[in-house]
Structure 1
Amino acid sequence: MRPSHPCPTLLAAALAITLAAPASSATTVLGDDPYPSTYQRIEAPDTLIRNATVLVGDGTRIDGADVLLRDGRIARVGRGLDAPRDAVVVDASGRWVTPGLIDVHSHLGVYPVPGLEAHQDGNEMTNPVTAQVWAEHGVWPQDPGFNTALAGGVTSMLILPGSANLIGGRGVVLKNVPGETYQQMKFPGAPWSLKMACGENPKRVYGSRGSAPMTRMGNVAGYRNAFIEARAYLDKLDSEEPPTQDLRLESLAAAMNGEIKVQIHCYRADEMAIMLDLAEEFDFEVAAFHHATEAYKIADKLA
């Protein structure tokens, strides 16, 4: 039996993501997810993929290998594996098999293809700090780009807001499965991310309007002012008169508290170094720098 899709990458299975727990803290900012995942794993028959060129998750290459899938998961990898009774057998001669690929920076769903204006929902360009918005609320589950990504082997992805704002909002982890709603795609239990951006993008967007930030100085001042507000909000949560819920400050405080992972769009080495200092000043952890063109210049700081 030949695979029906012409893509040379044969999808072996969706790779489960192991996600770290939030950092421990005396104060918990986030409650239960008000938009919980309704994802249900699709039942799949036992499948044996034969005679493939396999790339294991650690980069090891195995030629002429078999991959046994059970209940939708990779059960065994090796040569000459026996097919379970009633298993689907796929001849993968001349083809490559990898675990499901995880895209750690995607705008699928919030910037669908084709790029029609009606579906452009990745940047809330109304204020430099929009930590209150969530990318998941802009995801269009019927984006044709999801199928294109699946054909290339992408089975899970982190959907992030764009980089127009200093702080663009929360990201969400999705499984690349069909769904009428984004919640059917939402990875159960995955932590949120907070998207930040430094350098030319925010200052270009707002400087062109004659408003702050117009410079990199303005960028850093904008981050600091936002986190100063969030620190005061966090300090009041355990008081006798806790503050009224504020979605913007809640996301920022949760980042400071370790409950939300911080993802930063940054090109220049000096800007990344400043963001590391900012993280130390406000006690949050940078999960990753994205588009980090000059990361090699400060490899020692990032190690």
Structure 2
Amino acid sequence: MILIRDGYIFTMEGKNYQKGSVLIENGKIKEIGEDIVAPLDATIIDATGKIVMPGMIDAHCHLGMWEDAIGFEGADGNEMTDPVTPHLKAIDGINPMDRTFEEAYQGGITSVATGPGSANVLGGQFVAIKTYGKRIDDMIIKEPLAMKCAFGENPKRVYHDRKQAPSTRMATAAILRENLFKAKEYLQKLEAAKEDPAKKPSFDMKMEALVPVIKGEIPLKAHAHRADDIFTAIRIAKEFGVKITLEHCTEGHLIADYIKEEGLCAVVGPSFGERSKFELKNLTFETAGVLSKAGVKIALMTDHPVIPLQYLPMCAGLAVKMGMDEDTALKAITIHAAEILGIEDRVGSIKEGKDADIVIWNGHPFELQATVEYTLIDGNVVYRKNKA
């Protein structure tokens, strides 16, 4: 057992504690309150004068897919040989021993959604994982989490150079529609085969991977920066009745009312850095605040390695500087991120029964001078400042 004692607790559940404690047992949060009596066998962590909060969540990154300080040998995020690769699984490309995992949990990030890049129209399956461990199978929170798809410049750029489709936005949309149609038909045949085995279709690994999308079990995780690409993503999702989350949503602030009207969530970022391509010309840290004030639930991302993962709280702080509400920004990297990813039953807040993923800070996480004193994942202290 571990008792974190007398800290200022941000629960992300609507109630904070000025001088509260958290009791942890068997990797789970057992109790939260102000007058918890420590069991005799409990390890005590004194959090007096510290901020205690749930481990942060990056809702969109590529952790472990592009390894640190290495080139081709560690680049496993984009299979740029076929614009349709839904059958690829992030878990088969992640190296959890890359040093950026350690940097992540030392910076207070305990869970991430990671997966393929945006070179392909359909890039493959994202996964939600913890940031501590040696074997990816033991780190999984949810898999598959979502199906990556991409609109805009990236698929065009890759396949234009190969003189094949998609070289236009029209082709990107057409290829996505074609494969969703095929997946829908494939599922219909599978359902019909329950009554008549003769109707069972030949095995198709790509269509098998898309069946959970058609059934509404996982969403399309749609890379879209520009407003017109966002609308195309929404249009296609509505045509097929599939779930979708808007990823990057760089021009979301220009169409916030429309996104709210559609009832969609957005994972915004990376907002820090240069405008390296035309579809980023309206890049601004104001986007997150405008969307959230319009009533859109948002999460914030680093798109690691675009922004190193440990700077997720800095990105949230910059969003606050540009108009986002501070409490909403904290939720955008904790409970709202968990809810958008569909993993809020386990992570994202300090609540009885949830995984004991907890971070103790010596200051507010949006302050540049603030540092992490402790990181706990699944109730284990995986990092303690100034301790080996």
Using structure 1 for the length normalisation, give the TM-score: 0.77
Distance 1:172 1:267 in 2: 22
Alignment of 1:101-120 (within 5 A): 101-120=56-75
SS of the equivalent of 1:89 reads: strand
Q: Which residues in structure 2 correspond to 1:37-56 (within 5 Å)?
A: 46-56=1-11
The answer for the alignment partner of 1:184 in structure 2 is 138
CA 1:80–1:231 in 2, change beyond 3 Å: closer, same or farther? Answer: closer
CA–CA distance in structure 2, aligned partners of residues 259 and 203 of structure 1: 29
- 1:227-266 to 2 correspondences below 5 Å: 227-237=180-190, 238-239=192-193, 240-266=198-224
CA offsets 1:219-268 (integer angstroms, 9 cap, x no match): 11121122222223222222423122111111223311223332111112
Match of 1:20 in 2: none
Indicate whether 1:77 and 2:35 are aligned: no
Structure holding more helix per residue: 2
How far does the alpha carbon of each residue in 1:140-196 deviate from its partner, in whole angstroms, 9 at most, with x for none?
1211111111112222222221111111011122223312x3212223x65431101
Q: Residue 230 of structure 2 aligns with which residue?
A: 272
Return the structure number with greater relative CO, CA threshold 8 A, min gap 6.
2
- TM-aligned CA distance change 1:93 to 1:162, over 3 Å: same
Question: Does residue 247 of structure 2 align to residue 294 of structure 1?
Answer: no
Q: Is the 8 A contact 2:115 2:126 kept in 1?
A: yes
Deviation, 1:81, is: 2.7
Residue 12 (structure 2) pairs with residue 57 (structure 1): yes
- Cα distance in 2 for partners of 1:58, 1:112 equals 35
Deviations 1:181-214 (A, max 9, x none): 3212223x65431101111111122123332211
Find the aligned partners of 1:292 and 1:72 in 2 and give their Cα distance: 35
Question: Is 1:95–2:95 an aligned residue pair?
Answer: no
RMSD: 2.0
Aligned equivalent of 2:353: none
SS class of match (2:177):
helix
- The residue that corresponds to 1:66 in the other structure is 21
> What amino acid is aligned across from residue 162 of structure 2 in structure 1?
R
1:224 aligns with 2:177: yes
In 2, distance between residues paired with 1:47 and 1:151?
A: 19
Displacement of 1:60 after TM fit? Answer: 4.5
The answer on whether the counterparts of 2:218 and 2:243 sit within 8 Å (CA) in structure 1 is no
- Residue 210 of structure 1 aligns with which residue? 163
Aligned residue pairs: how many? 255
Conserved? CA contact 1:108–1:146, under 8 Å: yes
- Which sits farther off after the overlay, 61-70 or 88-97? 61-70
Q: Is the 8 A contact 1:52 1:96 kept in 2?
A: yes
Question: Does residue 1:149 correspond to 2:96, yes or no?
Answer: no
Change (3 A) 1:290 1:51: same
Structure 2 Cα separation of the partners of residues 285 and 245 of structure 1 = 25
Amino acid at match of 1:194: M
- Structure 2 CA distance for partners of 1:63 and 1:112, relative to 1, 3 Å: farther
**Percent identity (aligned):** 37
Distance in 2 of aligned mates of 1:115 and 1:61: 43
> Which segments of 5 or more consecutive residues in structure 2 lack a partner in the other structure?
264-388
Q: 1:116 deviation in Å?
A: 3.3
Aligned pairs for 1:9-28 within 5 A: none
Unpaired segments of 5 or more residues in structure 1? 1-45
Instruction: Please tell me whether the aligned partners of residues 126 and 143 of structure 2 are also in contact (alpha carbons under 8 angstroms).
Output: no
TM normalised by structure 2 equals: 0.61
Asked whether the equivalents of residues 266 and 290 of structure 1 are also in contact (C-alpha less than 8 Å), the reply is yes
Stretches (4+) displaced over 6 A: none
CA contact (8 A) 1:251 1:260 kept: no
Match of 2:116 in 1: 161
Residue 190 and residue 208 in structure 1: after superposition, are their counterparts in 2 closer, same or farther (change >3 A)?
Answer: closer
- Checking the alignment, whether the CA contact within 8 Å between 2:125 and 2:144 is kept in structure 1 is no
CA distance in 2, matches of 1:97, 1:113: 30
**Deviation of 1:96 (Å):** 1.8
Give the conservation status (yes or no) of the 8 Å contact 1:191–1:259.
no
1:120-159 equivalences under 5 Å are 120-159=75-114
- Could you say which residue in structure 2 is the equivalent of 1:10? none
Match of 1:192, SS state, is: strand
